Chains A and B, each alone.
Chain A
């Protein structure tokens, strides 16, 4: 009987760990979503800047201040932002891939425990 209790407790812990992993993966996915949206907005901005004359007046909003920039400076800045976002996206994708592997392994452990409990169950009544 104590055997079964121990196994049930173990199953509970493993399931908790599984849920925690899933929550972490979901957190990463949300972050990825936000980064992708940000990246798209920056793509639109670069598109608009490309249409400008080289002497057009561009302002960047820094807090409550409008700072004047040249078209080239603006292009550089937006490109740098996009490079940064792409690097972040790559990092998050790698983190998601690793977590998913751990998640799969954990799922196997949980299923094995559940199967073991099934076998012990009917005998203990």
Chain B
């Protein structure tokens, strides 16, 4: 960010910059929240993979046909699952493979969250600096 001397900016300009930084902060906070929700959904998937054990083979399950209609069935294949990898593609994976996939996704998300957190901290620092500059300007002009 270019260093601009606070004296060069008027109160209006400082307020405009302040608003822009506040919008950035809000957008970053939203993105972080969405990423955390996605991570928790992957966590749920990881948990449900645990149900695929040899001992559950042949167990009764309820299969969703629509959002509110389920039919009874039995768990026949405990070795494979279909994983949605995006853009309409599904891949058949072993339970271990699916587990690895979920772990990969979760680690990617946590990496992104860390990056965004760093930017959030930076933006908050900038906001503080601008607020201080604004206060100085207001106090300065009131004193005259």
Contact = CB atoms under 8 A, between A and B. Distances in A.
Interface string A81-125: 100000000000000000000000000000000000000000000
A78 B91 contact: no
Interface residues of B, number: 10
At the interface, is chain B mostly helix, strand, loop or mixed? Answer: strand
B82 to A, nearest CB: 7
A61 B90 contact: yes
A60 B65 CA distance: 20
A44 B90 contact: no
B89 A58 contact: yes
B67 interface: no
Contacts of B90: 58-61, 66
Contacts of A58: 89-92
B143 interface: no
Nearest to A52: B91
A28 B92 CA distance: 38
B85 A56 contact: no
A6 B75 CA distance: 80
Interface of A: 38, 41-42, 44-45, 48-49, 52, 56-62, 66, 74, 78, 81
